[in-house]
Amino acid sequence: MPQFVFKLSLLLPLLAGMVWVNWSVDPAILMIEHRDDPTRHPYENIIARDLLAGRTHRLKSIQLELVVDELVYRGRPQIDTLVLGTSIAKPIHAGLFGGPNFFNASVTGGRIEEMIMAYQLALDCGLKPRHVLIEVDSRSLSPRDGMPDSKLLRRALGRLNLPVETKRDSIWHLMWLAVEPGEDTAGAAKAQRPIYPYDELISPRYFQFTIAFLAKQWMARGDKPRELVSQFGEANESLLYPDGSLEWWDNAVARTPESIRQKFAQVQAGSLAGLQDRPVAEKYRMYEAFVGDMVRSGVDVQFMLLPPNPWIFEEARQAALRAGKELPSVETERAIRSIAAKFKVPVRGSLDPRHVGVTEADYIDDVHLRREAIERIFDRHR
């Protein structure tokens, strides 16, 4: 038996070799540890190169915006004004603030966690923003399904003395999930693999994918860079400016209030724009800790409240009235204003479109304002 085990161990170099190749190359960036590594994201590097060179970039594919942010931070000696928010804040541009050292680090689909990470990245890159604008919308304080699994976030939350609530199953639970008998039609593997993506390290399929990737790279060496192929089509490519702000794609800009109403007619209004989501204490505490930390560091913080489409808002408000309840976004705005009052932070705008003077024509969908509408809101609330 010892001889058998020893001879089996002679096969370990094969396994180790496969693991090493899969781990070190990881072309699909499956491993969580590699997701924050900017060197592994070629498209994001292309975007950042354009922005740092002062060029506009047409977005041809989905990108990891935090990776772009980090690459820009590393290339800029100073950023005085930083915008943190979601895609709603993307059209906020340098012209609204004056000064060259402006950057919009908003993250599409992001929440307070992404804002904290974007700010932490700036600190990690040695930048000390003097002004930070935080965009707030109806979803800002509502609960979120699962936190991003990121070392950066854990570090940032740790710095703010906030609990790290990344959901991780215990090793025992993962082991049980791995061995639990279950539906396995004709022997096919279970859809949910508890130790994914780490089982891909010993996956011959991923190994072959990696080798093919390396082979293509080797064969393409010396070739001039190929033009990027758009995944969206030209009419659906947004324009990213060197200051990090965005101009929406042509098809979105062409939308009319009627076409937007038609598009969302089947969806219950309140479920859009996060108007049914009640704020939760956990998110309130995160905003409080985040803003408080920046204020204590001498950063000039401002809140920018951007409302949803007035049509959506009115439908949700009427539905809330009929139910005899308060619209959750009213509670959200109240909470944000209380944080602002506590730290003496100015608040611009409102989550109620009636107070901001916007119309349906100012929107490209349920929540996203046109660039010129945001400019008008800024002018109105200077």
Partner 1 sequence: MRFDSFQFAVFFPIVVALFWSIPQRLRWVLLLVSSYYFYMCWRPPYAILLVVITAIDFCVGRALGRVNGAAARRAILAVSILANLSILFVFKYYPFVANTLNGWQQSTLFPNLAIVLPIGLSFHTFQSMGYMFDVYRRKTEPERHWGTFATYIVFFPQLVAGPIERAGEMLPQLHHYKNFEYKRATNGLKLMAWGLFKKVVVADRLATLVDPVYGNTDAYSAPMLVLATVAFGYQIYCDFSGYTDIAIGSAEVMGIRLRPNFRAPYHATSVQEFWTRWHMSLSTWFRDYVYIPLGGNRVSPWRWAVNILIVFALSGIWHGANWTFVLWGLYHGVLMIGERAGRSLVAAVSRRADPEPSRARWRAVRVVATFALVTAGWVLFRAPSVGAAQTIFAKVTTDWESFLTLERVLQELARLKWQPIDMVVTLLAIAVVEMGDTLQSYGSVRGWLSQRPFAVRWGAYYALLLFIMFFGHFSGQPFIYFQF
The residues that touch partner 1, with contacts defined as CB under 8 A, are 1, 3-4, 7-8, 10-11, 14, 18, 178-179, 181-190, 193, 199, 202-205, 207-208, 211
**Shortest Å, Cβ 204 to partner 1:** 5
Closest distance to partner 1 from the beta carbon of 184 (Å):
4
Minimum distance from residue 207 beta carbon to partner 1 (Å): 6
In DSSP terms, 349 is beta-bridged to 305
Q: Which is nearer to partner 1, 77 or 181 (CB)?
A: 181
Shortest separation between residue 221's beta carbon and partner 1, angstroms: 20
**Cis-peptide into 148, omega within 30 deg:** no
For residue 83, list its beta bridge partners: 104, 133
| Local structure of 268: helix, strand or coil | coil
Q: Which two tokens stand for residue 357?
A: 């003077």
Of 3 and 170, CB closest to partner 1: 3
**Smallest distance, partner 1 to C-beta of residue 91, A:** 43
Helix spans in 76-203 (H): 112-124, 151-159, 171-179
Nearest CB to partner 1, comparing residues 174 and 228: 174
Concatenating the DSSP letter of every residue in 210-223 gives HHHHHHHHHHHTTS
Toward partner 1, which CB reaches closer, 4 or 172? 4
Nearest to 102 by CA among 72, 67, 58, 59: 72
User: How far is residue 382's CA from residue 378's CA, in Å, rounded to a whole number?
Assistant: 6
Q: Where are the alpha helices (DSSP H) in 227-280?
A: 250-253, 257-264
Name the nearest CA neighbour of 65 among 129, 115, 24, 132. 115
Is the CB of 18 or the CB of 351 nearer to partner 1? 18
Is the alpha carbon torsion for 70, 75, 78, 84 positive or negative?
Answer: negative
CB of 2 to partner 1, least distance (A): 10
Say how many C-beta atoms besides its own lie within 10 A of residue 121's C-beta. Answer: 22
Comparison of 9 and 266: residue with beta carbon closer to partner 1: 9
Give the H or E element holding residue 82: strand 81-84
- Is 57 within 8 Å of 239 (Cβ atoms)? yes
Q: Which helix (H) or strand (E) holds 22?
A: helix 12-25
Q: Which is nearer to partner 1, 2 or 109 (CB)?
A: 2
Nearer to partner 1, 175 or 228 (CB): 175
Q: How far is the CB of 179 from partner 1 (least distance, A)?
A: 8
Cα–Cα nearest to 144, from 274, 31, 330, 271 = 274
Among 250, 241, 363, CA closest to 306: 363
Shortest Cβ 8–partner 1 spacing (Å):
8
Q: Which of 306, 307, 288 is nearest to 345 (CA)?
A: 288
- In angstroms, give the least distance from the CB of 29 to partner 1: 20
Residue among 10 and 219 whose Cβ is closer to partner 1 = 10
User: Of 8 and 265, which has the nearer Cβ to partner 1?
Assistant: 8
Q: Shortest approach of partner 1 to residue 160 CB, angstroms?
A: 39
Q: Which of 348, 257, 349, 271 lies closest to 309, judged by CA? A: 257
